[in-house]
Structure 1
Amino acid sequence: MTDHAVPEDFVTALLSLRDAARNPAVLLEEVPPPERLAPWTAALAMRTVREEHDQPLASGRLVVLHDPATQIGWNGEFRLVAQLRSQIDPEMGGDPLLGEAVWNWAHDCLEEVGAGYHDMTGTVTRELSEAFGGLELRGSTLHVELRASWTPVTPALGEHLLAWSDLLCRTAGIIPQRYLEEA
């Protein structure tokens, strides 16, 4: 943070997150934002409500970066940095197109809620954890992790939060309640 007054666009962004539509399958929590990435930052942690073995099926984070002077590569005053980690079923984990599918889902979720964005970059990683010894009863688990950043077209960020929450559910195989009600 800086000693200057909080920029109006940053206040608008934070209020839009507070007032955003909520995905009922995702719990949100404000967490300390990273430092030194931008003069103005905020962060939300999220996790799915439906849990397995006392652990959420998916968890993630959405970080808002704001620099009125802009930064190289942002092509705007804001940058959203997001991460999610989700348990996936073994059949899905073996798909050679998993990374491409998850990356496309991220774009789909942003577009489905009307979140305008550009300059999206990121990575998709799949992780296999095998248990041995006394932990063999737990079996193996597969996770997919997506790290992405993009520039929103306006300071109104509510749709971006909803999109990332929807993606969290989609990767964990949870159909958000609002989609069930629309069917």
Structure 2
Amino acid sequence: MSDTPSTPTTPSAFAAAVESVRRAVARDDLAVSEIPAPGGLAPHALALAGDVVGASGRADPDLGTGRFVLLHDESAPEAWGGVFRVVCFAQAPLEADLALDPFVADVAWSWLVDSLAAGGASHHSASGTATKVLSTGYGDLAEQGEGAQLELRASWTPTSTDLAPHLEAWSELICTLAGLPPTVEGVTLLASRRVGRD
């Protein structure tokens, strides 16, 4: 008997899902890279980070940023309702006057739902939160003035191993939050946004 612990094999369903994520086509406005997956959430996981690309051609998380995590557990946790779960995060600056709009959180959630539907990302059990953050600088930070951010955290259960549409919907979500024109039909932009890509 060997003293080295056995390496768990990657389930074929997870391998297929990872392959589909890696061949997904994110928007050109978003720089996507693979990052270490968080531990302890599931036996198998894949994580990606995305940052909006500024006018300089470089990724700038201050313009918009997000995370996409694919979880896989063959035991199909009851809360998931399946063997996969996608957990995502998206955040972008928002004009302070828009942050006061009582419906802006509803709009952010609709951008995610519409992007998933438009891309054919079949799923169920979606849940999440949309958060508006208002800030005002004081003292040494007074020059920052007032600012606002819109943040969306969401999760859902994919119904197939084809995760490319899910990643593409997340890509669309971040860019739409950042004020970039949507490429998905049926998704509309808020009337006034500060994109900051000039």
Say whether the fold is shared (TM-score over 0.5).
yes
Counterpart position of 2:51:
47
1:57 CA drift (Å): 1.2
Counterpart position of 2:106:
100
Report the Cα distance in structure 2 between the residues aligned to 1:109 and 1:103, rounded to whole angstroms. 10
Report the Cα distance in structure 1 between the residues aligned to 2:55 and 2:172, rounded to whole angstroms. 16
Out of 156, 165, 172, which is 2:178 matched to?
A: 172
Q: 1:10 and 2:14 equivalent? A: yes
Show the 5 A alignment for 1:8-87: 8-50=12-54, 55-87=61-93
Aligned length: 177
Show the 5 A alignment for 1:112-151: 112-151=118-157
Are the aligned partners of 1:85 and 1:144 in contact in 2 as well (CA < 8 Å)?
Answer: yes
Relative distance call for 1:120 and 1:138 in structure 2 (3 A) is same
1:90 CA drift (Å): 1.9
Report the Cα distance in structure 1 between the residues aligned to 2:54 and 2:113, rounded to whole angstroms. 24
Q: Deviations for 1:25-74, whole angstroms, at most 9, x for unmatched residues?
A: 0011111111111110110011111279x653110100000011111211
For 1:20, give the aligned amino acid.
Answer: A
Judge which range, 151-160 or 54-63, deviates more: 54-63
Out of 159, 165, 170, which is 2:165 matched to?
A: 159
SS in 1 for 2:121: coil
SS in 1 for 2:10: coil
Report the Cα distance in structure 2 between the residues aligned to 1:121 and 1:176, rounded to whole angstroms. 22
Report the Cα distance in structure 1 between the residues aligned to 2:55 and 2:139, rounded to whole angstroms. 25
Report the Cα distance in structure 1 between the residues aligned to 2:25 and 2:141, rounded to whole angstroms. 40
**Higher share of residues assigned strand:** 1
1:112 CA drift (Å): 1.1
Are the aligned partners of 1:25 and 1:177 in contact in 2 as well (CA < 8 Å)?
Answer: no
Q: Which runs of 5+ in 1 are unaligned?
A: none
RMSD: 1.9
Displacement over 4 Å in runs of 4+? 176-179
Q: Percent identity?
A: 37
1:85 CA drift (Å): 1.2
Q: Which runs of 5+ in 2 are unaligned?
A: 1-5, 186-198
